[in-house]
Amino acid sequence: MNQYVTEVEHALSKLPQRTSKHHPESYVGRGQSKLRFLGVNMPDLHKALEKGFSFSDLESQENANIWNQVWSHSDCFEVMMLALMWFSHPKRRLQLRQHGSILKNWAPKIDNWAHADGLSGIYARILEEDPKTVLPWLETWNRSRKPWLRRLSLVSLLYYSSQRQKYLPVETILSLVRAQLQFDHYYVQKAVGWTLRESHNVYPKETYAFISEHIHQLSAHAFSTSIEKIPEPKRQTLKEMRRPKRRGL
């Protein structure tokens, strides 16, 4: 095992091990990931990251390379989560673009929503600054056979729109969403809903029109998430539009 993986996992193994509903595997979904779980919760992971490791005082690029090794060689959920947390730290926001070539290669290892969404948040920040580089990644993943790559291709577009200062054109966002409407995978369909919800925050008119146009193509999971922040009575209007199909009319 890589020496840095060994160091990080050894440090985490000394932390409290959570059980039942507080166990990380419980909220990720038992049996949903092939990774090992130590049972360390997020607050304790944050504390471990703040405490640091033998390499924490090295300069930024060296640290980035080490956390890349940790991500690449670990089979432990919490260890990999720490790597995501290191890159996600606000003080590294302006440095993420220079680490794009490293982070692009993390995507194929994703096998759960927690890692997928953590990585999507990072990609969204890089996309904001360098869309010409990142958008082609997302367009390629949008056509992948792997559902987690498809989820990344959507959630990374905006992540949480309130955190963005720049946005892709609405046509680009909605075209990538449209391509997933018939892809039968729970976490991809949740990503469809998430992306439409966040797109509506930025482009309310165009996104509402999209939801209306595809009202019967949206899965139940996608639809319920997509309308969460649409004000009444428009939300009720959309529900009424879906009702004939549910009645078999």
Q: How many whole angstroms separate alpha carbon 164 and alpha carbon 28?
A: 26
With cut-offs at 50, 70 and 90, classify the pLDDT of residue 133: very high
Helix (H, G, I), strand (E, B) or coil at 230: coil
* pLDDT for residue 3 is more than 70: yes
For residue 141, which of 180, 88, 95, 184 has the smallest C-alpha distance? Answer: 180
Q: What letter does residue 35 receive in the DSSP assignment?
A: S
Instruction: Please give the share of the chain, as a percent, with pLDDT higher than 70.
Output: 96
pTM of the model: 0.93
- Residue 18's Cβ-count burial label (10 Å; 0-12, 13-18, 19+) is middle
CB atoms within 10 A of CB 89: 12
Distance of CA 190 to the CA centre of its chain: 11
13-17, 181-185, 186-190, range with the lowest pLDDT: 13-17
Positive or negative, the Cα torsion across 100, 8, 109, 33? negative
**Overall average pLDDT of the 158-186 stretch:** 97
Helix (H, G, I), strand (E, B) or coil at 162: helix
Q: Residue 247: what pLDDT?
A: 45
Q: How many whole angstroms separate alpha carbon 35 and alpha carbon 53?
A: 23
With cut-offs at 50, 70 and 90, classify the pLDDT of residue 245: low
Tokens representing 31? 């049996």
* pLDDT for residue 248 is more than 60: no
Tokens representing 217? 């193509």
Angle between helices 77-88 and 60-73 (to 10 degrees): 150
CA neighbours closer than 13 Å in the CB half-sphere of residue 208: 16
Mean residue pLDDT across the chain: 93
**Overall average pLDDT of the 73-77 stretch:** 96
Instruction: Please give the share of the chain, as a percent, with pLDDT higher than 90.
Output: 86
